[in-house]
Amino acid sequence: GRVHGVEVCSIFHGVKPSFSISMLDRAGSNRGGNELSPRNGKHVLYSRFSFSFMRRTGSWGNDKAYGSAIKTVGSFGTVEDFWAYYSHLVRPNDLPASTDLYLFREGILPMWEDAANKFGGRWSLRLRKGELNQVFEYIAMGLVGEQIAHPDAVCGITAQIRFQEDGIAVWTKNSVDLEMLNEVRDSIKRILGDLDPSIPGKEWEFKPHVQSH
């Protein structure tokens, strides 16, 4: 994944993340595997993912204009390459308000109109200022490590930085299978179980994308 342009570079810095490869050792547990596959000295993930972001500076007249506002940072398929990108990303708490940071499976755009998202929805969680960094970090690890239940139904995650509060959303391909959706939510809560008890206990809200148009 190649980094494009000065604007993309502005979301990078040199802060080292607070997790390590060992925290992803259980990757693949929702796909019948218990460990990452080493290849050429790197730990290969089950799927490839992409980081991207968007500054919400105004309204867009059509899907094409909205899509062009999404800037791709880069794609990766190993734990080490995930680390290489993440270790240089500005943490969500430090990004300017009206910024969305995305981590999606490669080939899926963080747009309702994308074929993978069209009939789906998202689990959303509202967060106080200062809470987003760790929540995004833990859920990002859960996503790339396939720790979220029903991984084939999970498209990606969005960190939403706003003026008064922040938020995180987990996007799903399906919006009607309540049992599956609840299992996705419950697995996310388990991933967040090591954080401040007030965070895993927060109330998640599900909304189909069709209700957001």
Q: What is the CATH number of the domain that holds 163?
A: 3.30.760.10
Q: Tell me 198's DSSP state.
A: T
Residue 63's pLDDT is: 56
Domain of residue 51: give its range: 5-211
* Cα–Cα distance measured from residue 99 to residue 63, given in angstroms and rounded to the nearest whole number: 18
pLDDT of residue 46: 93
DSSP state of 111: S
Distance CA 154, CA 117 (A): 10
Report DSSP state, residue 127.
E
Alpha-carbon gap, residue 11 to 95, rounded angstroms: 7
Find, among 146, 136, 64, the residue nearest to 105 by Cα: 146
Give the pLDDT score at 181.
Answer: 98
- Residue pair 95/11 in contact (Cβ under 8 Å)? The answer is yes
Domain count, the chain: 1
pLDDT given at position 98: 93
Calpha distance 62→64 (Å, rounded): 5
Three-state DSSP at 124 gives strand
Enumerate residue ranges in the chain where pLDDT < 70: 1-29, 31-39, 58-67, 200, 212-213
pLDDT of residue 60: 52
Of the candidates 95, 123, 115, which has an alpha carbon nearest to the alpha carbon of residue 10? 95
Query: Is the Cβ–Cβ distance between 173 and 121 less than 8 Å?
Result: no
Give the bridge partners for 102, in sequence order: 52, 158
The DSSP string of 63-78 is HHHHHHTPEEEEEEEE
Q: Name the average pLDDT for the chain.
A: 83
Distance CA 111, CA 92 (A): 20
pLDDT on residue 103: 98
